[in-house]
Amino acid sequence: MGLVTDKVALVTGGAAGIGRATAKTFAAEGAKVVVSDVNQDGGAETVRMIEKAGGTALFVAADVAKKADVSDLIAKTVAAYGRLDCAVNNAGIEGKIAPFAAQTEENFDAIIGVNLKGTFLCLQAEIAAMLETGGGTIVNLSSIAGLIGFSGLSPYVASKHGVIGLTKNVALEYATSGIRVNAVCPGGVDTRMLDSLAEQVTSGAQSATDMMAPLHPMGRIGTPQEIAELIVWLSSPRAGFITGTAIPIDGGYVAQ
C-alpha cells in the first residue's frame, strides 16, 4: 500500500521540475494523477513517464490564471476519475528581476495572476469538488520568498506571501469539513525557474547551483524529488493533524 493508494491527485504546473516530480511520486504511491500545465508537450511527457512506470495519469491543459480553464480542469478530473482527493497548486512564474521602482505593472500583473490569483481560483474549484465527496487535501506551493524578502523580486515575493495567507485562511474555514490545506516553502531547487533567475542575475556567468548553493547552510540546493516527497506526505493520512501550516524545505536558509 502506498501513501495515497486509490486517491485521485491533481498537480498544476506538472510539465517539469517540482510539478513533474510530484505527479510521478503521487503515481508511485498509488494515486491516479491529473497533470495540468500550459506546456502541453511537457505535461504529456510527464503522463508518459508515469504510464511507463505502471501508473495511471491524464493530462489536461489549463492556464490557472483563467477561471474558465480552472473550472474545465476540475470538471475533467471528476469526469475521468469520479472525485478529487488531493490537489497541488504548483503552477507559478518568476517574472523579471528589477529594483522595486523599476518594476512594471505588466510584470506585477502577470506574476500575481498566475501565482496568487491562480492559486485562489484553483482553491475555490478544488474545494467545491472535495466538499461533494467528504473532503481532501490541498498543498499550495509558496517559497522561502513567502517568508522573507528578496531584493529585485518584489512581485514574486508579494505573490508567495499571499499564497501563505490564502493557505492559512482557507485551512481555518474548512478545518471542520474534512479538507486540510498546507503550503510548502522551497529554497533553491534545481529547476528551470532557478536557472532563469540565475541567468537574469549573472547574465550566464554563473550556474544556478554555483550562485545559490553557498547561500544555503547545507551547502547545496534541493532537488525536485525532495520537495515532492514532502508534498505527497502532507497529502497522505500520515499528516492527518496538519493544516494551515507553511513548511520551509530549504536546507536551513530561513533559519539564518
Kind and range of the H or E run holding 77? helix 67-81
Q: Which of 81, 156, 174, 253 is catalytic?
A: 156
Please give the radius of gyration of the chain, using alpha carbons only, rounded to the nearest integer.
17
Helix orientation angle between 17-28 and 40-52, rounded to the nearest 10 degrees: 30
Q: Is 156 a catalytic site residue?
A: yes
Are the CB atoms for 252 and 220 separated by under 8 Å? no
Are residues 9 and 83 in contact, defined by beta-carbon separation less than 8 angstroms?
A: no
Longest dimension (CA), the chain: 53
Record the cell numbers describing residue 202, joined without a space.
549573472
Task: Look up cell 511537457; give the residue.
Answer: 42
CA distance 208 to 215: 11
Q: Residue 44: name the closest of 23, 28, 60 by CA.
A: 60
The DSSP code sequence of 121-141 is: HHHHHHHHHHHHTT-EEEEEE
Among 230, 131, 98, 240, residue whose Cα is nearest residue 180 = 240
8 Å CB contact between 17 and 40: no
Phi, psi of 254 (to 5 degrees): -80, -5
C-alpha–C-alpha distance, residues 19 and 155, integer Å = 22
Active-site positions read: 156
